[in-house]
């Protein structure tokens, strides 16, 4: 009977891994579309969001069925509840990526704006965070989960710097307002993707330690890092 339980939980893990990989791929595609001004590739990203939505529904259905039929306890219960929460975080990250893709048509038709913080670099950090968050959730790695939480501050700072620079640019040149607003939107969406990766990492730690570390000193970058 235990073997049967493990097989059902493995199905949920497999679907969650597939969902996370889809979201990471979507983010990398949208970054490519952004950097190349490729509105056709952006549409591919928009169309791919349905796959992520369907996987979230399937994971929820699998977890609810298991909860209803097997009355899991302890670790199995945490796996199910945190798996549902992680799939929700991935779905919301996918929504942010789709929002970026929908903006690319406007951005690709404009003259590029030279700004200090690199949006693509910020997105690559967020993609790396998502990848590490997925890996640590599936593998149950506490150290990697904490590292994801600590990296969130880097993306937050890049977003703040970019928002400030774009706001100053709009003040100096009102003709740039529309383009700056689009870039602000993209930057904020990437920052939210990083937040969702951080949430998954925090859920991993709850899964491992049965301890909620949200909004605690453990999730902040250590003082020794100099940040």
Number of domains in the chain: 1
For residues 192, 193, 198 and 199, what is the CA-based torsion angle, rounded to 10 degrees? 80
pLDDT tens digits for 125-154?
Answer: 999 999 999 998 888 788 889 999 999 999
Q: Return d(Cα 160, Cα 61) in angstroms, integer.
A: 39
Residue 30: half-sphere exposure toward Cβ, Cα within 13 Å: 37
Paired tokens of 94: 């996918």
Q: What is the rounded distance in angstroms from the CA atom of residue 55 to the CA atom of residue 59? A: 6
Alpha helices in the chain (DSSP H): 2-36, 39-70, 74-108, 119-139, 142-172, 177-209
pLDDT band of residue 223 (cuts 50, 70, 90) is very low
User: With 0-12 CB in 10 A as exposed, 13-18 as middle and 19+ as buried, what is 184?
Assistant: middle
Q: What pLDDT is stored for residue 113 in this prediction?
A: 63
Does 3 have pLDDT greater than 70?
no
Residue of 34, 55, 54, 56 lying closest to 45 (CA atoms): 34
Residue 73's CATH number: 1.20.58.220
pLDDT digits (tens, 9 = 90+) for 81-128: 889 999 999 999 999 999 999 998 778 665 566 655 689 999 999 999
Distance of CA 171 to the CA centre of its chain: 32
- pLDDT for 4 equals 41
Look up the domain containing 122 and give its range: 2-225
- CA 29 – CA 80 distance, rounded (Å): 30
What DSSP state is assigned to residue 112? P
The 10s digit of each residue's pLDDT in 184-206 is: 999 999 999 999 999 999 988 88
């Amino acid at each position: 009977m235990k073997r049967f339980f493990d097989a059902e939980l493995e199905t949920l893990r497999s679907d969650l891994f597939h969902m996370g990989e889809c979201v990471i791929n979507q983010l990398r595609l949208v970054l490519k579309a952004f950097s190349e001004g490729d509105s056709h590739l952006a549409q591919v990203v928009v169309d791919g969001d349905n796959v992520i939505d369907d996987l979230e529904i399937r994971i929820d259905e699998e977890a609810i069925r298991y909860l209803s039929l097997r009355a899991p306890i302890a670790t199995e219960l945490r796996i199910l509840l945190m798996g549902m929460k992680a799939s929700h975080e991935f779905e919301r990250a996918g929504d942010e990526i789709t929002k970026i893709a929908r903006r690319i048509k406007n951005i690709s038709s404009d003259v590029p704006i030279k700004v200090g913080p690199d949006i693509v670099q910020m997105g690559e950090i967020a993609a790396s965070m998502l990848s590490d968050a997925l890996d640590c959730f599936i593998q149950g790695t506490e150290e990697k989960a904490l590292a994801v939480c600590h990296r969130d501050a880097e993306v937050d700072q890049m977003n703040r710097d970019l928002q400030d620079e774009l706001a100053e640019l709009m003040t100096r040149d009102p003709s740039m307002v529309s383009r700056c607003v689009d870039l602000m939107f993209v930057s904020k969406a990437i920052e939210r993707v990083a937040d969702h990766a951080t949430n998954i990492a925090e859920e991993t730690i709850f899964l491992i330690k049965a301890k909620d570390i949200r909004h605690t000193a453990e999730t902040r970058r250590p003082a020794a890092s100099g940040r």
